[in-house]
């Protein structure tokens, strides 16, 4: 993570089509030297709302699973709701202890917020494999083992309703690096860009796996740490609207 080596977007590979989950982030500057110390208190209203939203997210995912098994499709209203919950959670985490990347208070909305420095977009799949939805949690175990180190133990999935925003990114390497970033910010007034790029890359990996487990894509998440705030597969403005449906699922790849 040398500061002398800029992070550049990964060159497209024709054999490696864009992954349908796109995580965007933009480091705001300047950032307050001290605000990060009280963000745990400022996000309490968001956490109180996100807890029931994540309960609803789990219920909606189960309903979607049944629908996919029967029809081969993820009902669009259910998909949009779950995408909204993921977007809201990512914005809160980016403001707080998943990244500390902005001092702009997150909006209370499930909708995309163009211009906000953190965004998430998932391409809507027109068809999903009916049997695969039953075993995605099992196929994701190798990723979860890695994410246990990156973002902290098994509590990451169960605590998405607020853990990433509440307890230093859920712990793990992300939590440690965010804490280091906060300390550096206090003493220097600057957030080291290579550190930010690395933190966002780990969050991007986690969001891709979460979207896969939530049945929102059949594309197996890549074992790849894409650094930088702009998603290398889709360098768009944060929280760009969802793209057009993809016509066919892509076979599972490791």
d(CA 116, CA 232): 19
**pLDDT tens string 65-109:** 999 999 999 999 999 999 999 999 999 999 999 999 999 999 999
Q: Which of 44, 63, 50 is nearest to 160 (CA)?
A: 50
- Assigned domain for 204 exists: yes
Q: Alpha-carbon distance 76 to 216, whole Å?
A: 11
Report the distance separating Cα 25 and Cα 197, nearest Å.
Answer: 9
Q: Write out the chain's pLDDT in tens, 254 residues.
A: 444 444 444 444 555 678 999 999 999 999 999 999 999 999 999 999 999 999 999 999 999 999 999 999 999 999 999 999 999 999 999 999 999 999 999 999 999 999 999 999 999 999 999 999 999 999 999 999 988 888 765 444 444 444 444 444 446 889 899 999 999 999 999 999 999 999 999 999 999 999 999 999 999 999 988 888 878 766 555 444 444 444 444 444 43
Q: Has residue 219 been placed in a domain?
A: no
* Domain-located, residue 241: no
In a domain, 131, yes or no: yes
Biggest distance spanned by C-alpha atoms of the chain: 57
Q: Which residues pair with 119 in a beta bridge?
A: 24
Can the peptide bond before residue 252 be classed as cis, meaning omega within 30 degrees of 0? no
The answer to the question of residue 234 being in a domain is no
Is residue 106 within 8 Å of 116, Cβ to Cβ?
Answer: yes
What tokens appear for 167 in the block?
Answer: 């307890």
Domain annotation covers residue 3: no
**Helices 76-95 & 44-71, crossing angle to 10 degrees?**
150
The answer to the question of residue 253 being in a domain is no
Range of the domain at 45: 30-213
Does residue 182 lie within any of the structural domains?
yes
Tally of domains within the chain: 1
């Amino acid at each position: 993570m040398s500061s002398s080596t800029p992070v550049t977007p990964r060159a497209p590979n024709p054999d490696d089509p864009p992954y349908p989950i796109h995580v965007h982030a933009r480091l705001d500057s300047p950032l307050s030297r001290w605000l990060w110390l009280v963000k745990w208190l400022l996000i309490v209203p968001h956490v109180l709302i996100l807890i029931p939203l994540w309960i609803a997210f789990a219920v909606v995912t189960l309903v979607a699973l049944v629908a996919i098994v029967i029809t081969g499709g993820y009902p669009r209203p259910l998909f949009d709701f779950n995408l909204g919950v993921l977007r809201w959670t990512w914005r809160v985490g980016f403001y707080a202890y998943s990244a500390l990347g902005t001092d702009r208070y997150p909006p209370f909305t499930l909708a995309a917020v163009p211009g906000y420095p953190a965004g998430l977009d998932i391409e809507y799949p027109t068809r999903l494999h009916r049997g695969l939805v039953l075993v995605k949690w099992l196929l994701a175990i190798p990723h979860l083992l890695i994410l246990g180190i990156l973002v902290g133990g098994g509590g990451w999935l169960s605590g998405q309703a607020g853990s990433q925003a509440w307890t230093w990114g859920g712990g793990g390497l992300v939590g440690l690096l965010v804490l280091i970033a906060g300390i550096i910010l206090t003493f220097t007034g600057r957030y080291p860009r290579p550190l930010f790029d690395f933190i966002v890359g780990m969050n991007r990996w986690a969001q891709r796996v979460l979207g896969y487990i939530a049945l929102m894509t059949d594309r197996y998440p890549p074992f790849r740490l894409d650094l930088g705030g702009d998603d290398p597969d889709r360098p768009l403005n944060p929280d760009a609207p969802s793209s057009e449906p993809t016509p066919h699922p892509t076979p599972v790849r490791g």
